[in-house]
Structure 1
Amino acid sequence: MNKETYNWSDKTILIAEDVESNFLFLEEVINQTGANVLWAKNGVNAIDIFKNTSKIDLILMDIQMPLMNGFDSTKAIKKIDPKVPIISQTAYAMAEDRAKSIAAGCDDYIAKPIASKKLLALISNYIQ
């Protein structure tokens, strides 16, 4: 059981993830914190939701998505608000993926399969 408990009831986290089962897992993990969760099913949708939501505290960005990949979506969102923390998530756990994510403007990176404890600890580095 997760000894660390987080209270992010005043936070909003956008999950950009095109695979519903992956989104549902991430949503379940984040729901434990009380945070509000929004779902973008592709990179274009992520940008639209970000533009039309008054306050998003953090974005979990899948890299492989339809319409627009996570790298391009991250670049577009960072142009709107360079301070919003974006954590890329990808099944391609190669060193160059981390480097590409950071180069695209992501603040951090987590490889799939994602461990819930590790994810919450990583997010807690960016939101309190």
Structure 2
Amino acid sequence: MQFYAALVEDETATNAFDPHGLMETNAREFIERTDFRRQYLGVVQIGGINSSMRVRVPDVSESTVNLTVIASLEDEPPYSEDRVITTLLIRVTRTRQTVPDNIRVELSIDGRHEVFTGD
């Protein structure tokens, strides 16, 4: 599995996780509805998982240092054998003048616990 996480403070920076413009229409619309003057995005990408797997996010918390995302991957029938990249977009309304320094993702997968970070 491959992991990517980033904080996005302006619409131009969204190209970092969709460089070829292949993002689905609903994701692009979600980004377009983000008011980057008052909000920012947390982006989490997980590569090498099956398309039958779903990401569940029970908690997101913000501090001056981190936007922390607690998530789990759950595989639901019918199971698939393909490999995809799944992107999770989290819109956060700013509660401070600045955006946290990092994004920290704590991901539970089949009893394993992965932690990864990004700027």
TM class by shorter chain equals under 0.3
Between 1 and 2, higher relative CO (CA 8 Å, sep ≥ 6) is seen in: 2
Normalized per residue, which structure has more strand? 2
TM value normalised by structure 2: 0.27
Normalized per residue, which structure has more helix? 1
